[in-house]
């Protein structure tokens, strides 16, 4: 038992050994966070706690599988695996068992963001789909039902969005679809309305752990509270300084106020950093100290002084990328493995000039992020076919693929079929396969009729084959549909064909490993899976700062260190979150860190003169008095909001020790207020 804990430092051990009651583990970058919580899980099990009584929640599948592997390798006799999965996977499992209590069937289909947008577009074409989609997410994540949304909407635009939300939700229920937010929202709903269920679920999961707690949103917090109904054994791990998902609903208050929300919370800080040199940590620490909303932590290096952080200054983006390419070449020539090198940027648009520079220098690289495997059009087509075959009610998938490959069926024909099917209360597929041929041929044009007949026929043959043998079904699937052939004929088709092959390969693998798995099972399995886009070690990586979270590189470059790009300014800019992003970027580096800044950059069709990023000065890397206004983010004339005094206008900004003082005019009343007590409006 002690062997398990031997590997930990005193703070890590203190955190891992805490069993009962709430605990917040504040784990700084590179402080051995995963090691600590996987050890804690292994420790709990080594004490004889039933794995079935534990629940460990993460945000990504990657984190879940990594933790599972590490925890299980520490226990001698893994009895059966403890539940360790993403929040959404937990919701999915839960709903499979309990959604019937909400009057819905458990053969629901999980739709992704892309599907969601398509449905929204069907309902409304006026408002931007992306906006509506994110507002619906906001509603769901704040536990607001369509009726409430409609009742509280004031502006005409929001009235419209709330109405779309209602129609959207009705559409989901009618077609038995569930979106990502529903996986959590419906789970919460069930736990809220059914006291017995809540009690039994909470009794079962007596030891709950949450990874990356700084990224939780309101809904996730509420869900956790329900899961902790009959106990308070909640162990959350995170780093408030690495909260970089505020824009998608993560609420940093969840971690900042955790000790106030749960009584008798134990707080453990992990501040020993096992990743970066002193020079790198010094800069990162200085930078993050400029933030006010934080619990406060200073990383301590265990790796020695190291090389100073280097600054590259160039006139434009071409010079910048050439400099970086040259530096990378030197590293590689001196024997550094390419996988140890990465370049980060704040926005994806900056990858272009960088890629050009790397290409000029003949350096192979891989771009991490971008379009994910399961979101590629060709893969979603194949999945849609599988969904129709598994579930003949899935009109949504049906419409996606009815004309892919091209069958000469356009909007007009689809409208006709939809209308007729609607009148008979049948799904599209049912309607087309059950309606007598004579009747169908009257409804449709000759060409469309013949084409649809063939289509339905192919699907029926596939369905019959599936009943006999999944393997046989898979063998004939593509040739029956003609997806590969379709994509092969397109100009950029080669890669898409390869992707389809990979997908079919995945499917076959899954069947071989799990001969009993049904098509339904397979579809469920992949609905929450993003490709584990593993980084191939033999190339240098380039990616956004967001994509780099959780990774580390021996030699790291960050480009675009200019005001406007990093920090990325614009409306709704949260300077503290930008600073946390800067902190995340810097703390990815192990041995050398190079920050690059240019005088001008070509962006959105024009060249712009730029100033050096304030983060360079804040991190103590560049001299130069920064104007007070810039470092606070407040300037004369800004509107700010105070808890008690309400909205006021800034008249003057001045320094007050480590904080800043604002002279504010609150409706005629002038007051001096410390800047951390107001927020921008």
Partner DNA sequence: TGGGTCACGGTTTTT
Partner DNA sequence: CCGTGACCCA
Which residues contribute to the annotated binding site for ATP? 27-34
Paired with 345 in beta bridges are 544
Kindly name the residue from 11, 135, 181, 211 that is annotated as catalytic. 211
- Kindly report the backbone phi and psi dihedral angles of residue 109, in degrees, each rounded to the nearest multiple of 5, phi listed first: -115, 135
Kindly name the residue from 33, 35, 269, 400 that is annotated as catalytic. 33
Cβ-based nearer residue to DNA, 432 or 528 = 528
Kindly name the residue from 11, 12, 13, 34 that is annotated as catalytic. 34
Paired with 207 in beta bridges are 54
Kindly name the residue from 68, 496, 549, 588 that is annotated as catalytic. 588
Catalytic residue check, 33: yes
Catalytic residue check, 211: yes
Q: How far is the CB of 447 from DNA (least distance, A)?
A: 8
Q: Which residues bind DNA (CB under 7 A)?
A: 59-62, 86, 88-89, 112-113, 121, 125, 180, 247-248, 346-349, 369, 372, 403, 406-414, 448, 528, 530, 543-544, 546-547, 568, 570, 572-573, 578, 604-605
Map residue 103 onto helix, strand or coil. Answer: coil
Question: Whole-angstrom Cα distance, residue 436 to residue 444?
Answer: 13
Q: How far is the CB of 387 from DNA (least distance, A)?
A: 17
Catalytic residue check, 34: yes
- Kindly report the backbone phi and psi dihedral angles of residue 270, in degrees, each rounded to the nearest multiple of 5, phi listed first: -105, 105
Cβ-based nearer residue to DNA, 143 or 414 = 414
Question: Whole-angstrom Cα distance, residue 359 to residue 66?
Answer: 34
Q: How far is the CB of 133 from DNA (least distance, A)?
A: 9
Tell me if 461 sits within 8 A of 480, measured CB to CB.
yes
Q: Which of 238, 237, 232 is nearest to 207 (CA)?
A: 232
Helices and strands (DSSP H and E) totals, the chain: 30, 23
Q: Which of 94, 54, 109 is nearest to 190 (CA)?
A: 94
Cβ-based nearer residue to DNA, 377 or 510 = 377
> Does the CA dihedral 320-321-327-331 come out positive or negative?
positive
Cβ-based nearer residue to DNA, 102 or 130 = 130
Residue linked to tokens 């809220």: 192
Map residue 672 onto helix, strand or coil. Answer: strand
Q: How far is the CB of 390 from DNA (least distance, A)?
A: 20
Cβ-based nearer residue to DNA, 452 or 474 = 452
Residue 542 Cα distances to 12, 30, 353, 355, 567, angstroms: 32, 20, 12, 9, 19
Q: How far is the CB of 568 from DNA (least distance, A)?
A: 4
Q: How far is the CB of 498 from DNA (least distance, A)?
A: 19
Kindly name the residue from 179, 181, 212, 591 that is annotated as catalytic. 212
Question: Whole-angstrom Cα distance, residue 519 to residue 507?
Answer: 9
H or E element in which residue 669 lies: strand 669-674
Q: Which residues are annotated as a binding site?
A: 27-34
Cβ-based nearer residue to DNA, 59 or 473 = 59
Residue linked to tokens 């945000």: 59
Using a 10 angstrom Cβ sphere, with 0-12 exposed, 13-18 middle and 19 or more buried, the burial of residue 411 is: exposed
Kindly name the residue from 36, 38, 242, 592 that is annotated as catalytic. 242
Cβ-based nearer residue to DNA, 245 or 634 = 245
Return all residues near 459 (Cβ < 8 A) that are at least 6 apart.
388, 389, 429, 433
Is the link from the previous residue into 474 a cis peptide, with omega within 30 of 0? no
Q: How far is the CB of 445 from DNA (least distance, A)?
A: 8
Q: What residues act catalytically?
A: 33-34, 211-212, 242, 588
């Amino acid at each position: 038992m002690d062997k398990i804990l031997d590997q930990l430092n005193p703070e890590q051990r203190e955190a891992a050994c805490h069993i009962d009651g709430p605990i917040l583990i504040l784990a700084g970058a590179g402080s051995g966070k995963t090691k600590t919580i996987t050890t804690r899980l292994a420790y709990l099990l080594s004490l004889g706690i039933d794995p079935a009584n534990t629940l460990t929640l993460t945000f990504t599948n990657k984190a879940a599988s990594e933790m599972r592997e590490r925890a299980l390798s520490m226990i001698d006799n893994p009895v059966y695996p403890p539940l360790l999965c993403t929040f959404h996977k937990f919701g999915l499992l839960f709903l499979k068992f309990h959604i019937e209590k909400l009057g819905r069937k458990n053969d629901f289909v999980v739709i992704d963001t892309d599907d969601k947008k398509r449905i929204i577009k069907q309902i409304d074409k006026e408002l931007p789909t992306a906006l509506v989609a994110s507002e619906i997410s906001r509603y769901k994540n704040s536990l607001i039902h369509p009726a409430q949304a409609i009742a509280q909407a004031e502006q005409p635009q929001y009235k419209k969005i709330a109405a779309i939300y209602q129609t959207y939700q009705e559409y989901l229920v009618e077609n038995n679809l569930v979106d990502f937010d529903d996986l959590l929202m419906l789970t919460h709903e069930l736990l809220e309305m059914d006291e017995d269920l809540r009690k039994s679920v909470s009794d079962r999961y007596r030891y709950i752990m949450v990874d990356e707690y700084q990224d939780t949103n309101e809904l996730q917090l509420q869900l956790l509270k329900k899961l902790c109904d009959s106990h308070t054994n909640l162990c959350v791990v995170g780093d408030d300084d690495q909260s970089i998902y505020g824009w998608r609903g993560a609420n940093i208050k969840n971690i900042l106020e955790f000790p106030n929300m749960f009584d008798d919370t134990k707080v453990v800080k992990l501040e020993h950093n096992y990743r970066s040199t002193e020079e790198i940590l010094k800069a990162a620490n200085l930078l993050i100290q400029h933030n006010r909303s934080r619990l406060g932590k200073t990383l301590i290096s265990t790796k020695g002084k190291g090389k100073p952080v280097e600054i590259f200054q160039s006139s434009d983006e071409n010079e910048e990328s050439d400099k970086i390419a040259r530096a990378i070449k030197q590293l590689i020539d001196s024997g550094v493995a390419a996988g140890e090198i990465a370049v980060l940027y704040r926005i994806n648009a900056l990858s272009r000039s960088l890629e050009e520079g790397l290409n000029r220098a003949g350096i192979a690289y891989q771009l991490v992020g971008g379009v994910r495997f399961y979101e590629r059009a060709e893969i979603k087509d194949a999945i849609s076919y599988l969904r129709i075959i598994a579930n003949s009610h899935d009109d949504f998938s049906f419409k996606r693929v009815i004309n892919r490959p091209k069958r000469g069926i356009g909007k007009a024909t689809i409208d006709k079929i939809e209308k007729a099917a609607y009148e008979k209360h049948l799904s599209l597929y049912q309607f087309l396969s059950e309606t007598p041929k004579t009747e169908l041929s009257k409804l449709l044009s000759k060409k469309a009729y013949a084409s649809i007949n063939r289509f339905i026929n192919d699907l029926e043959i596939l369905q019959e084959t599936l009943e006999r043998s999944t393997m046989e079904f898979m063998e004939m699937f593509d040739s029956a549909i003609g997806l590969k052939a379709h994509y092969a004929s397109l100009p950029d088709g080669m890669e898409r064909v390869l992707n389809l092959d990979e997908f079919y390969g995945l499917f076959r693998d899954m069947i071989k490993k799990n001969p009993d798995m049904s098509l339904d099972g397979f579809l469920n399995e992949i609905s929450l899976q993003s490709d584990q886009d593993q980084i191939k070690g033999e190339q240098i990586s380039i990616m956004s700062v967001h994509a780099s979270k959780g990774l580390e590189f021996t030699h790291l470059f960050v480009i675009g260190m200019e005001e406007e790009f990093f920090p990325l300014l614009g409306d709704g800019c949260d300077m503290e979150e930008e600073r946390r992003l800067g902190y995340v970027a810097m703390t990815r580096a192990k041995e050398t860190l190079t920050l690059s800044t240019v005088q001008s950059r070509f962006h959105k069709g024009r060249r712009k003169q730029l100033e050096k990023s304030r983060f360079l000065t804040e991190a103590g890397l560049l001299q130069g008095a920064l104007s007070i206004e810039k470092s606070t983010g407040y300037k004369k004339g800004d509107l700010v909001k105070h808890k008690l005094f309400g909205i006021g206008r800034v008249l003057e900004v001045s320094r007050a020790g480590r904080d800043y003082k604002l002279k504010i005019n609150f409706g005629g009343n002038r007051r001096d207020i410390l800047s951390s007590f107001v927020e921008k409006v």
